[in-house]
Each structure stands twice: as C-alpha cells, then as structure tokens.
Chain A
Amino acid sequence: MARPIDFSPPFGAIDAVGAPTDGPDERIDVGVLIVGAGPGGLACAIRLGQLLEEHPEVRERLGDVPIAVLEKGKQAGSHLLSGAIVNPSPLRELFKGRLRTADLPTYGEVPGEAVYVLTRRSALRIPAPPTMRNHGNVILSVSELGRFLAEQAEAVGAVVLPETAATKLLVQHGRVVGARTGDRGRGRAGEPLPTFEAGNDVVADLTVLAEGTQGYLTAAAIDQFGLHGENPQIWALGVKEVWRVRKPLGRIVHTMGWPLRTSAGFGEFGGSFIYPMGDELVTVGFVAGLEATDVEFSVHDVLQEFKTHRLVWKILGGGERVAWGAKTITEGGYHSFPRKFNAPGLMLVGEGAGLVNVPRLKGVHYAIESGRLAAEAAFRALQRGEVVSRIGALDTYDESLRASPMWKQLYEVRNMRQAFDKGFFMGGALASAMTVTKGRAPNGRFPTHPNAAAPLRKSGRASRYPAPDGSYIFDKLSSVFASGNRTRDDQPSHLKVRTTVRRPVAEAWQWMCPAHVYEVGRDVGDGMVTVEITPSNCVQCGAITAKGGRLTPPEGGSGPEYTLT
C-alpha cells in the first residue's frame, strides 16, 4: 500500500539552520526579532513595546531597532486565516488601560449558537457539547485582526517588515542569534534576475518564532535543539469562503457528520463552521484531518459538497462569494508540544508551538496569550541585565505557560483528538468521557500517527463532489484567484517534494491540495508517475508538509492576499 511518508522530501529541517554569513554592512542588527506578524507575534511585539515605553533604560540597550517583526505576506493579515470565534480576554489584557473592547476589530459577541449532526438530507440539532459553548466570545476575522495588531505594534515602536520571508535560523555557538531573510528576484532556475536583492542576516539578542502552522524555522529549531514532543505533530486542513448574504445569520453554527464518513478506516475527522460577520457577511468553512485515507479526499471539494446541504443553502443561497482561503491547523495538542518552549536566544509562541485547542476550536487567543507571556519573560530577562541567550534565561516563559489557564485547558483535552482515530462514534463516546471527567479519564497518552503515514486507498470519494457552476460551487483555480493570489511565476519552486512517486501518492496530493498545485504527470513504469507542480498557485496552507513534502517560504510577498478570512 502506498503511503506519502515513504516519499520524504529531498530536504531536512536542518537545511534551514546556519551561522550568520553577512559582513557588518549587509547585516541588520535589531534587539528582539519576531518571525510572523500573526496574533502571537504581534501580541509579543505589542506587549514588549508597551514595557519598553515604560522602561526607556531597557529600551536603550536594544539599539536603534528594539523590536522587528518579519512577515512573509504582502502585509500583516495576508496569510492569516481562521474561523474565528475568539475568547476576548487575552486581547483585553493586552490592551488594558489603552483601548476599550469597542476599539477592537470584532463583529461583536456570539449572538447564539447551534450545533448539528448532519446526514445527507437532515440536520439533527444537538445541545452544544461543553467544549463548544461560546458564550461571551467574539466573532472576528483573524486577517483583519492581524492588520489591526500590526498598526498597534507600530504605534508602540515595533517595526513590521512585510514581504520579508525568514528562510534560515541563525545559530552560533549553540545559541539562536537571529534569522536570515530570503532572496528576492531569482528566476525559475534560481538564477539572479536584474532585480535580484539578496536576503540579509537579521541579528538579534532574542528571536521569537511565531510562524503559525507548519512553522518553517520552528521545525528547524525543534530539530536543532532536540525539542521534539512525545507525540508526532498532526494537522487538519481548513478551507473556507466568505459570502455576502441576503439575510443576516443571527447565530453561529457548527456541524459534524455528513459529508464526512464515520467509519475509522476512512480517517475522516472534522466538521464545519458557519459564522456571521456582521449583518452582511457570513463565513463558512470545513476542517478535516489530514489522515484521511481516500486518495480523492479533498477538503475544498468536501466544502463544496457541504454547501449543497439544505441547511447551508438556506444561509448562502442567493448570495455572492467574496473570498476563499485555506490553511492547516495544528492538531496534536498537549502531547505534541515541544519539550520546552525556549532555547538559548529563542522562544516559541502560538500555533507554531502547538498551542491549539482542537475540541474547542480555539487557538487565536492562546497565540495572543503566549505572545504576551513571551514578551514579559523576555522583558524580565532584559531588565535583570541578563544575557538572554544564556541557557535558562528564558525559562520563566515556560513557567508562565505552565501556570496559565490555557495550559490546564490543553491538558484536559490532551487525548480528545486522538480518540477520533477510532471513528466518529467511538471517538465521540471517548470524548464525552473525557469531557465529563475533565480529562482525568481515560488517562494515559493516546498516540498520534503522522498524517503522511496513513495508507492510501480508493473508495470513490470524488464521485460525491458536486460539479462547479461558477456561482455557488467553485473549482480550485477560481478559488485561488479569489484568495487574491497573484504570485510571481518566474521564481524558483518553494515546494520540496519528490517528483517521481507511486501513483496513489501523486493522486492524493492532487486532490489534497486546495490550490491545485500538484497534478499527476506521466507514467514512468513500475507503478510510478511524475508529479507536475505549479508553485505559483500555492496559498501556503501547509498541507503538503503534513503529507510527505515540505512547504518552504517563497519570495516575500508571494501567496494569498487575504483580507477577510
């Protein structure tokens, strides 16, 4: 049986680590370098900026550029995508005394909620499981939040640098000393074009990695410093659309069941979300684990199939799609956490470090909380006059994480996701037991299995997908267009995959990828085929990394330009 994991990419995480090479003229010195302008990285930048404003003597020690944030997207928010229902407490905490809740870019508190179990023709409403109760939480677009937080970060003195990819973790004498930015202006074969601009070594006293799902330097750092967690990390893929609708949706909706198949052998775990964004917009998304075994399993197409249900038609019918996007979600939970969240000169924040609560579908507020805690730990070390790259100097960060409510919540649900390896019903029963006992039973550590190790089979999944009509059901290419993606074609491919693989693996990639990057090429005998790749379609969701390849950052500014996701 073919498995993607048997075709590991021609690339190792260690390829992304090295010593600084720039001379003093090219090199850029900053105080604290944050990689990723998402909610985690920006919360860290904002909190640190606030503390440095209050303590100019500490700020002085960080040089001309005390805080720099690197963002590979066109602007902050371009690569951010989520539901999202967010617990507003960490945001309020972050802006305590400075902004009111009304100043935050949200669509208001959750107006009401409903959870359904679907079959093809029916929708059975069930009481919201305790993990899915959202009273007091707010609806927002994480892309809009990113833009807002970037402005706030700049207002407290951080420098946000968009269109700048971080492609190498700089490590010297066993310490992290910054990151190297990617080159721009290379042609398809890697040759420098007339506009070639080499990357720079950005050297910092402290580096915070807040790269989100599939963090590139995060994976390298975990390898480099031996920080692997107990369980291998696993991911789900979420694909969503934003619609302008004819009538307001007055509540949030979550569904389970159809169109996913419940038997364990299919490995189809996930569900949908439908959230109002004010009165005029609705976002609908589908999330499914990447261990799905059918080669034709495609979350984008499952989303389109899902939209044909009467429940969804009643909400979206007559409306107009205004945005589309896709991104993976880190699902391993507590047992997949890195052994430590810091190393000499380094801190790991947010989803990149695995801080996502899958049963609660929450991660944005954990990112903000961990970013804040990281900033405070860094500040304490700086204030003490510590050399922050000394071993243990940042251990207070780990301590504060363990003492936080988020840690306890993640511990409680530590085995819940893995329970669904046993299928929808068995998993549901186990999950209920875990909920009722607040995670005390069943005890022990349920294992995870790398997504790419799932064997592939054909069970006719694609026959159920509806045909695109361009107005309600959409194909992948027009969806890539709707993500705002207009990546420069004439650059090297940023996707490290084997280009000759067993046919089922190529087919799985072709279906899995929401942006139609991979296509089955020609037969080369022995059951092997070539893989045709169109890297400029890539919306950098990260699915390929979970399924036997590796996404690396392309030229800064490439990829989607999300604004509403």
Chain B
Amino acid sequence: MKSLVYLEHYHGELEKGGLGVLGKAASLGDAAGVVLGEGAAEVAAAAGAFGAAKVYACDAPELATPLPQARVDALATLVEQSSPDAVLFGASVLSADVASGLAARLGAGLNWDLTDLAERDGELVGTRPALGDTVIVEVGWTAGPRLGLIRSGALDPVESGGTAEVETFETSFSDFSTLATLVEQTQEESSGPSIEDADIIVAGGRGLGSPEGFTMLEELAAALGGAVGATRAVVDAGWYPYSTQVGQTGKTVSPKLYIACGISGAIQHKVGMQGSGTIVAINKDPNAPIFDFCDVGVVGDLHQVVPKLTELVRARA
C-alpha cells in the first residue's frame, strides 16, 4: 500500500503524532511524508529516520500561517501527482481540519479517531473506539484515496534509522484559501495542562480525608507534569473546584495515566474516566469497586504511598 503521511512541525522539529503514523504506514507498504510551511524542506529530511523513503516539501508563503485551507490545496495537488492509496494524518487541531477539507476536495472517504491501522485481505482497515470507549469498531473505505485521521498519541514513533529523499513541489492555491489571516499568536506557558488535555491525571476522592489531601496530589501531579482531578463527593463538599470534577456530571477524560487516590469507583465516576489508558488505584478498602476495573490496584494508605511516589518521580527527573 502506498501512503502519504501528513507531518507537522513546530519550531524546527517534526511532531510526534505524524511520525507515529509514518511508522505504521511504513509497516504497511511504501510511506512518503509531506511537510508544509516555512522551513519545510529543512525539517523534512528527519522523517527518513522514522520510516519515510521520500518526503515532499512545500514552503510557499501561503502555507506560513497555521491554517488548514492552503494545506488542502497543496495536498490535493500532491495527491493528484503521486496517486497514493491512502493519505494519513496524526490528529491535531490543524490536521483534523486539513483531513476533512481534503476529503471534501477529493470526494474521498475519511475515517477519524482511529487508534490503529492494519491490512486485511489486501485492504486497509482502521480501528476506532466508540461510545465512550466501550465498543471497538473496525472501519474501512469503499474507494480510494483512503483518508485516515489517527487519534493523538495512539501510535508511537519508531526510530528505524534511514534517510529520506526530500522532493520539493509547487502548487496553486484556491482564491478562498488565504482569506483567513493570522492576527496574533500566543504561546501558553500555563501552570500545567487542564484536565481535558492532560496526559496524566492525579485524582482525589473522599478517601483523602480532608481538603488538605489535595496539596499532596498537586505535588504528585506537578512532578508528573499532569493535572489534578476530583470526584463529585469532594467537589460537593467544597474541597476542590467544580472545573476539576471527573464523572457523569463533570468532565469525561481519557488520559494515558489516571491515578485515583481515595476514590471508591462508583459508576458515576467510572464513566468519566474509564477510557483512560492505564488506571492506577490507591485505596485502603480492598472491596472498593475501583479495584474491579483498574489496571494497577494498590491496597494501602494513600497518605504513605502518594508522597513516596512523588519523591521517587522527582528523583528520577
């Protein structure tokens, strides 16, 4: 299968999401990368180490602003020129719009929120979760080119070594593609991710015993670079803000790591975090329901385990 993989870059470096998809595409056949925007040709070569035999690059000024529509023009041109079987994207705020716009432009099918790709009976199939990660759906395409948008972080880059040939290309742009303009760009050095974006969440429930318990969780979260979450019970009691409430009547989160401290695991909480990659539970009650669905269950005193874990994480860094 011949695929074209859209690669994003930021401050001179290729982004992990696209590189992960590149590795998977390379395992399924011939994978070429495409890098767009200012400095594209310079960063493009690095894709060779992650599975690309060839990388296309275009740095037309219209592609300088981080907006999708000019990118659709460029990719459409490239697809016409190189006729790939599939065009694949690692999801980001920008790439999702590009993938969707390209699907409309080409009249192609787009499957999104994919967590994996495979080949079955000579056909490309994708895997995606649905209904709050409670069901896995296998999806396919009825015609080419096959557009796929892979969930952020689902595929890890594989550094296989190797070099790629960089080929620059040119494209024209539609009249409407450059109507939207960038007025201002702000980098955010925030005090840590919000729970919706965090890859790691440390959450606390009534087992903390008092609002002061959250200080301990904040320290662990800071050491891990994650965010702090809370259950409905402690938010009700005023121990932590409503914006951090995880659960049926709060937020639904699916971080890679969810550490539940002093949380019993009632279903109202579970439905807000059951899609998490790895769930670690720390609770002194061995019969707490959370031990039925966590990946790592620690029966113990969280006031001992959590500070110790924080200490060990800090020591590692």
Contact = CB atoms under 8 A, between A and B. Distances in A.
Do A and B assemble together?
yes
Nearest to A487: B249
Nearest to B268: A481
A467 to B, nearest CB: 9
B215 to A, nearest CB: 23
Contacts of A487: 249
B248 A486 contact: yes
A490 B242 contact: yes
Given A470-B292, A489-B232, A534-B233, A477 B268 contact: yes
Interface in B259-284: 266-268, 271
A540 interface: no
B98 interface: no
A489 B271 CA distance: 16
Interface of B: 232-233, 235-236, 242, 245, 248-250, 266-268, 271, 289, 292
Interface in A514-551: 534, 536
A487 B250 CA distance: 11
Contacts of B236: 489, 534, 536
Contacts of B271: 481
A489 B235 contact: yes
13 contacts: A470-B289, A470-B292, A477-B267, A478-B267, A481-B267, A481-B268, A488-B249, A489-B236, A490-B242, A534-B233, A534-B236, A536-B232, A536-B236
A370 B310 CA distance: 67
A178 B135 CA distance: 49
Contacts of A486: 248-249
B267 A489 contact: no
A489 B249 contact: yes
Nearest to B264: A477
A557 to B, nearest CB: 13
Contacts, number: 30
A450 B232 CA distance: 35
Nearest to B269: A477
Contacts of B242: 489-490
Instruction: Give the interface size bracket for A toward B.
Output: 10 to 19
Contacts of A470: 289, 292
Contacts of B289: 470
Contacts of A489: 232, 235-236, 242, 245, 249-250
Nearest to A467: B287
Nearest to B266: A477
Contacts of B268: 477, 480-481
Nearest to B292: A470
A481 B249 contact: no
Interface in A447-477: 470, 477
Of A487, A489, A490, A536, the most chain B CB neighbours within 10 A belong to A489
Contacts of A477: 266-268
A491 to B, nearest CB: 11
B266 to A, nearest CB: 4
Nearest to B233: A534
B101 to A, nearest CB: 34
A500 to B, nearest CB: 17
A534 B245 CA distance: 15
B85 to A, nearest CB: 43
Contacts of A481: 248, 267-268, 271
A488 B249 CA distance: 6
Contacts of B266: 477-478
Nearest to A478: B267
Contacts of B235: 489
B249 A536 contact: yes
A489 B267 CA distance: 16
Contacts of B248: 481, 486
Contacts of B233: 534
A530 to B, nearest CB: 12
Interface in A474-505: 477-478, 480-481, 486-490
A255 to B, nearest CB: 30
B270 to A, nearest CB: 9
B205 to A, nearest CB: 13
Contacts of B250: 489
A489 B248 CA distance: 10
Contacts of B245: 489
A397 B211 CA distance: 58
A490 B245 CA distance: 11
Interface in A31-55: none
A151 B268 CA distance: 32
Contacts of A478: 266-267
A489 B247 CA distance: 11
Q: Which 5 A-B pairs have the closest CB atoms?
A: A477-B266, A481-B267, A478-B267, A489-B249, A486-B249
Contacts of A480: 268
Contacts of A534: 232-233, 236
A481 B235 CA distance: 19
A513 to B, nearest CB: 16
A560 B150 CA distance: 37
A490 B242 CA distance: 8
A523 B45 CA distance: 70
Contacts of B267: 477-478, 481
B125 to A, nearest CB: 30
Contacts of A536: 232, 236, 249
A480 B267 CA distance: 9
B305 to A, nearest CB: 25
A489 B243 CA distance: 12
Interface string A2-34: 000000000000000000000000000000000
Nearest to B287: A467
A478 B267 CA distance: 6
A180 to B, nearest CB: 27
Nearest to A476: B266
A536 B235 CA distance: 12
A470 to B, nearest CB: 7
